[in-house]
Amino acid sequence: MKEYKDQEEFLKDYDANLYDLLSVTTDILVFSVSDIEVDSYRKLPEKAFSVLLVKRKNYPFKGNWCLPGGFLKIDEELEESPLRILKKETNLDDIYLEQLYTFGGVDRDPRLRVINVAYMALIDKERLNKPLMTDSAWFTVVQNIQDNVIDLTLYNGGNRLECQALMLKSKIRSINDLKLLRNEGLAFDNALVLIMGMLRLKNKIDYTDIIFNMMPNTFTLKELQKVYEVILNKKLHDQAFRRQIANKVVKTDMVKVSGGHRPSTLYRYRYPKDN
Partner DNA sequence: CTAATAGTGTCTATTAGACAGTATGTT
Partner DNA sequence: AACATACTGTCTAATAGACACTATTAG
Measured CA to CA, the distance from residue 134 to residue 124 in angstroms comes to 20
Does residue 243 bind DNA (CB under 7 A)?
Answer: yes
Does residue 205 bind DNA (CB under 7 A)?
Answer: no
Name which of a second copy, DNA, none residue 180 binds, using a CB cut-off of 5 to 8 Å depending on partner kind.
none
Name which of DNA, a second copy, none residue 265 binds, using a CB cut-off of 5 to 8 Å depending on partner kind.
DNA
Measure the CA angle with vertex 63, ends 58 and 67; round to 5°: 85
Name which of DNA, a second copy, none residue 77 binds, using a CB cut-off of 5 to 8 Å depending on partner kind.
a second copy
Measured CA to CA, the distance from residue 177 to residue 168 in angstroms comes to 5
Cβ distance to DNA smaller for residue 44 or 48: 44
| Residues found near a second copy in the complex (CB under 8 A) | 1, 4, 6-7, 10-11, 14, 16, 19-24, 58-62, 71-79, 97-99, 101-106, 110-113, 115, 117, 168-171, 173-176, 207-208, 272-275
In three-state form (DSSP H/G/I as H, E/B as E, the rest C), the secondary structure along 89-116 is HHCCCCCEEEEEEEECCCCCCCCCCEEE
Q: How far is CA 10 from CA 16, 20, 74, in A?
A: 12, 20, 22
Cβ distance to DNA smaller for residue 25 or 225: 225
Shortest separation between residue 146's beta carbon and a second copy, angstroms: 16
Asked whether 230 and 222 are in contact (CB, 8 A), the reply is: no
Footprint (CB under 7 A) of DNA, residues 36-65 = 40-44
Provide φ and ψ at 109, rounded to 5°: -125, 120
Of 18-26, 54-62, 178-186, 253-261, the segment contacting DNA by CB under 7 A is: 253-261
Does residue 235 bind DNA (CB under 7 A)?
Answer: no
Name which of a second copy, DNA, none residue 217 binds, using a CB cut-off of 5 to 8 Å depending on partner kind.
none
